[in-house]
Structures are given as C-alpha cells and as structure tokens.
Amino acid sequence: MDDRLATLVPQPRTVQPKPGELRLTTCPAVRTGVGAGADAAAAAVGRVINAIPWPERRTGQQASRDGSGPSITVHAVADLSAEAYRLDIGTDGVSIAAAGPAGAFYAAQTLRELLPDDAWRAAPLPTTTGSSWRLPAADIEDGPVLPWRGAHIDVSRHFSTKPELLALIDGLSALKINRLHLHLTDDQGWRVESRRFPALHEIGSHRARTRISLNREEPKVYEEIPYGGYYTLDDLAEIASFANDRMMMLVPEIDLPGHTAALLAALPELGVGAPPPAGYQVSADWGILPNLISPLPDARAAITEILAEVVGATGARYVHIGGDECVLDSWRADPQIEAYRRERDLDTVEDLHVAFLRDIADTLAADFGVRALVWDEGFTSTVGRRTGLREDTIVMAWRGMPIAKDAAMAGHDVVVTPVFPTYFDYYQERGASEPLGIGGPVRIEDVAAFSPVPADWPDAARSRVLGTQFQVWTEYIRNSRALEYMIFPRACALADVAWVGTAVPWREDVAGGVPLRDRVSAHLGRLDASGLEYRPLSGPRPWQQGGTGPRRFRPGYEMHAVTVHLGQLAENEQA
C-alpha cells in the first residue's frame, strides 16, 4: 500500500489500493454529478480543493471551462449516512459519492491528506512550479461511528482572537472534528458583545490582572497587566459561518447560574441580594467562586434576552448552559429566593438548581428551537428528586464514565468528556521541560486508548452516547501558540477515536493499516506546512519549554488523585 494511503487521520473504514496514480499539476475542475443535492455537495468539495496551493495554481472554474485535465465529479446518493462518503481515485480522475455536503467535504479532506504536505500551505512554493502532484489510485469507503466529535475551547480565561480561532477551525476540521464548543463566559471574562446589555462587554470583558500561580501555591503570584477581549456579535456570526462551511457546528456556552463573576460585575442587579461592599469584580483568580445569578423570574428574563442575541448571531442548534460547580449557599440564605422556592413547591435549593436549568432549557426550546446541554452536575443534582432536567437536555459527563452511564440509563443523550483522558489542559507528559499546566498527565497514548462507548455498557446506555470531545481550559494557557501546543497532536488521537467509536492501537501493528503513532507522525508534516504549533512526540522544542520563571513546570494535580476525587464527589451527590 502507498504510504500516503496508510497514514490517514482519522483512519477510513476501508482502503483498497489500485494500480497506478493520478497526476495533477493544476487545480482539478469540480463537476456536479447525478443526484438531488449534488450541487451543494460539489460546492463543499470545491471549498477544499480550490483552497489548495496547486503547483500551477488556477481556479477550478478555469479548468472546467477549457475542459482539459482530470476532474473531480461529485454525486449525491441516498444509500449513505450524512457524513459518509465513497472516494474513487482513478488514473484519469476522481469520483466522490456522498449523501450531502458533509460527506463530500470529508472526502475532499481525505484527498488533501493524500497530497504532499505542501498542499497544506497557504500559497504555492516557487519550487513546485512545473511539477506535478500524485494521488495514489484507490477506492475508499468511510464514515464516522459517532455523530458528535468535538473541540471545547475556553476563551474566557484566556482569549483567542478571531484569526487565531479561524486557524484552529481549519486545522480541526481537517481531522473531521464537527463541533466547536466555545466557552464564552466565566468568572474571568465575558467574551461576547451584547447590544441589549452593553455593560457585559464594556465591563465584563476585561480584568485588571491575572493569576499565574497554581491553585494550591502560596503566596499567590499575579501578572499585573490588564487582560481582555471579546467577539462582536458579527464576529461570532462570522466564526459560526466559517465553521459551518467546514462542517463544524458552533456550540456556544453561557455558563449559568455559577461562574458568573464577570456577568455580575457588569449587571449586579442579576445577583443575589445586595452586591458586596466593593462591588462584583471580574476575577483574576481561578477555582470555584460563590457568585450565583438569581433564579428569580426577572433575572431569567434578562438571561433569555442575552441568549436570544447569541442564538440570533450564530444560528446555533445547541447551546450549553453550564450548571457546573454551583455553591448554592447564597440562594439558601436569601429570604426572597427561599419564598420563591416554596411558592414553586420545591423541596430544597438543589431542586431549585434543577428547576432553573430546566426553565432555561424550556425557553431555549420554545423560543428558539434550540437544544440545551449541561455539565454533569446538572444531572447528578436531579437524582432522587421529583423533577429533573428537561428530557432532551444533553449531559456532558466530565467527572467520569460512571456518571455518563447513569445519565444515559436515565434517558439522556450524553457526550462523554471525562477529565482523563479528554482534558487537554493537563500536561502531555509529567516532565520538567513541559510548560506550566494544571497537572496530569494526559498522554496521547492515553487518548488513543479511550473507548467513548464502553463495550460492557448495556445497549440502552450505549445507544445514548452521541460522541466525545476534548476540553481545553485556559487558566494557564496564555496565548494561541501555547493553546495549539496543548491541542496538537492529541487532537489527532481524539479525532481517530471519535471517528471509529473505540480505542485505537497506538504502537501495535494493525490489520489493514498502521499504528496511530505512525499516522500521527505523518500528520505532523501537514501541521508544519499549515503553520500550526504542536508538541513533537519526542517532547517540547526548546522555545516551547516552561523555563525557570513563573511559568516553569510544577507537578500540579496528579491525575489519579483528580479522577478519584471527582468520582467520590459525583457518588456523594447521587447518594
């Protein structure tokens, strides 16, 4: 088998090599074949193919007009699922069959992987002029097992500018990642414009300083530099459109009712009782803060207006509403909230927490046709209670697979996101050369060994697993280069696992292919050409290391202790 056919990420279902190759010097014409929807599918292919810096660059439209050279013909068929495709590379041209744009787009991405690494550059190199690129002849049939293959980026703690985010979307969509979960709000920053409540971005989008010491370290150390940024609603609409063209659905998160210090700094009237003497502040610290927004109807009405702006800008079909790490003491101590709880015939403040999340989910569904997601605290707080989450609320289970299983058995769709091994803010190795992280490690081989749909689960639970995603929380990730370093190449392993729905061999030989380590090694050349930062498999480059200053390596949280602690917390909540 041609080496390029053996180094695809994620690995296709079947690859059948054929004799010969297809030589290309110019951008091949993308032609519309047969079937309803073939025009849209061909357009998706064209967006990939026409962006490639061919040796003698000319547009597909030009090639189509003069009728010369090989072409790519795109057919729409009814016998494939939405993201599946058949790719036939012959010596005289290419044929793609897909149900619609998504499958066709992924077929085009596979074609790009089969080209030289220079196909991942933004412009052709002078040395390629007059040369030809070669595609190995093959028949490929492919499609994902899991419909949710995501990337979670925390832009609240440290902000990613729009160009940085667009570059990430390009790199991740090439791996057939199809969800971009943006954590837009938290205690440390509100990252989206509000025309209805402009104080949110005018006040909530920046902080006076940033903590750079780890949570347990004393004395606390801060970087005394103002920090901030936000996306306008038009920016967010552009990001959503850019992602959509690459078959990635934007999933915005507005974290509620906790993690709201930045919100309350801007809109203190949404808080519980009187503001603190010094007022609410956008936090420079990490961890779990006691701030909550009020669950009363006036506060919920304001939240509805904010959500309407976000949904209106993005066209989101899913919105994450948080629900995590809520210290409910302020609700419990407030006479007005206690009276409201009794008025609603709710037994405890924990019931009120569930009711709040359900109210927001009901509003999203009724007013905008949007489905809500919550972190798993939103589910565990419902166990044993008279009322629970809205039935179609999706649970993101981050504190372990047992919670994911329980949520699935209770009838909720789940996205499995356990800290180990899907939290990419943890070290890639526990070594002195690594830049500062929260703890760990989460090695790339740990990601490869992850089975998002455990074989020993009952079928009723397995059928509820929508998929998985990686999470990057950015407390200690200060810029885009550091963010890319933490994402790549672990995202390659997560993409492979999510595509096939189970663990994949890291080093071992596999029938019909090569180990993931070898396929990832090949993909690093594509990342080099595209300009994305990554951690080499052998360890960080000299300039990627933490050095000896305040961002030097410290052990942080040990991964085994983290997973045990989180599991105990979840068990206690459910008990």
Among candidates 241, 106, 226, 109, which has minimal Cα distance to 162? 241
pLDDT of residue 59: 47
H-state helical runs in 13-134: 38-49, 60-66, 101-114
From the list 368, 409, 383, 406, the residue with the least C-alpha distance to 254 is 368
Is residue 492 predicted with pLDDT exceeding 90?
Answer: yes
In the beta sheet, which residues pair with residue 88?
95, 139
Q: Report pLDDT digits (tens) over 432-446.
A: 999 999 999 999 999
Whether residue 353 contacts residue 388, with contact meaning beta carbons closer than 8 Å, is answered with: no
Can you give the pTM of this predicted structure?
A: 0.96
What's 115's DSSP letter?
S
Q: What is the pLDDT of residues 8-24, one digit of tens each?
A: 999 999 999 999 999 99
CA angle 263, 188, 377 (to 5 degrees): 75
For residue 510, the model assigns a pLDDT of 61
For residue 215, name the pLDDT band (cuts at 50, 70, 90).
confident
What was the pLDDT predicted at 551?
87
CB 110 within 8 A of CB 12: yes
Residue 509 pLDDT level (bands cut at 50, 70, 90)? low
Residue 65 has pLDDT above 70, yes or no: no
179: left (phi over 0), alpha (psi -120 to 50) or beta: beta
Alpha helix (H) ranges present in 512-558? 516-530
- Short-list 421, 436, 416, 327, CA closest to 373: 416
Cis-peptide into 257, omega within 30 deg: yes
pLDDT tens digits for range 375-410: 999 998 877 676 789 999 999 999 999 999 999 999
Q: Write down the pLDDT at residue 408.
A: 97
pLDDT at 56: 80
Is it the case that residue 461 has pLDDT exceeding 70?
yes
Q: What is the mean pLDDT of residues 234-245?
A: 98
Predicted confidence band at 126 (pLDDT cuts at 50, 70, 90)? Answer: confident
Question: Which residues does 170 contact at the CB level (< 8 Å), separation at least 6?
Answer: 246, 530
Mean pLDDT for the stretch of residues 499-514: 82
Q: What mean pLDDT, rounded, does the chain reach?
A: 94
- 516 — pLDDT class (breaks 50, 70, 90): very high
Beta strands in 1-128 (DSSP E): 14-24, 29-32, 71-76, 85-89, 94-98
- Of residues 196 and 383, the one with the higher pLDDT is 196
- Mean pLDDT within 543-549: 93
* pLDDT of 183 higher than 90: yes
Contacts of 105 (CB under 8 A, 6+ apart): 44, 45, 47, 48, 246, 247
Q: What is the DSSP string of 325-357?
A: S--THHHHH-HHHHHHHHHTT-SSHHHHHHHHH
pLDDT of residue 511: 59
pLDDT of residue 128: 67
Element (H, E) at 139: strand 133-142
List the one residue out of 143, 45, 165 whose CA is nearest residue 498.
Answer: 143
pLDDT in tens, 299-331: 999 999 999 999 999 999 999 999 999 999 999
Q: What is the rounded (10 degree) CA torsion for 429, 435, 437, 442?
A: -20
Instruction: Indicate whether 63 pLDDT > 70.
Output: no
Residue 570: its pLDDT value, please?
85
Q: Are 14 and 140 in contact (CB under 8 A)?
A: yes
What's the confidence (pLDDT) of residue 573?
A: 80
Neighbours of 330 (CB within 10 A): 18
Share of the chain above pLDDT 90, in %: 89
Task: Provide the residue type at 540 as one letter.
Answer: P
Tell me the per-residue pLDDT of 127-139, one tens digit each, with 9 for 90 and over: 766 688 999 999 9
Band (pLDDT 50/70/90 cuts) for residue 513 is low
| Triad 343, 345, 348: Cα angle to 5° | 105
How confident is the model at residue 487, as a pLDDT? 98
Residue range 28-38: average pLDDT?
A: 96
Instruction: Let me know how long the chain is.
Output: 575
Q: How many CA atoms lie within 13 A of 486 on its CB side?
A: 32
What is the reported pLDDT for 402? 96
- pLDDT at 544 exceeding the cut of 60: yes
Long-range contacts of 532-538 (CB under 8 A, 24+ apart): 532/167, 532/168, 532/171, 532/484, 532/488, 533/480, 533/481, 533/482, 533/484, 533/485, 533/488, 534/484, 534/485, 534/487, 534/488, 534/489, 535/428, 535/485, 535/486, 535/488, 535/489, 537/444, 537/489
Q: What is the pLDDT of residue 3?
A: 87
- Domains of the chain in start order, with CATH, are 14-142 (3.30.379.10), 148-574 (3.20.20.80)
Residue 216 has pLDDT above 90, yes or no: no
Q: Tell me the C-alpha distance between 89 and 281, whole Å.
A: 59
| Percent of the chain with pLDDT strictly greater than 70 | 95
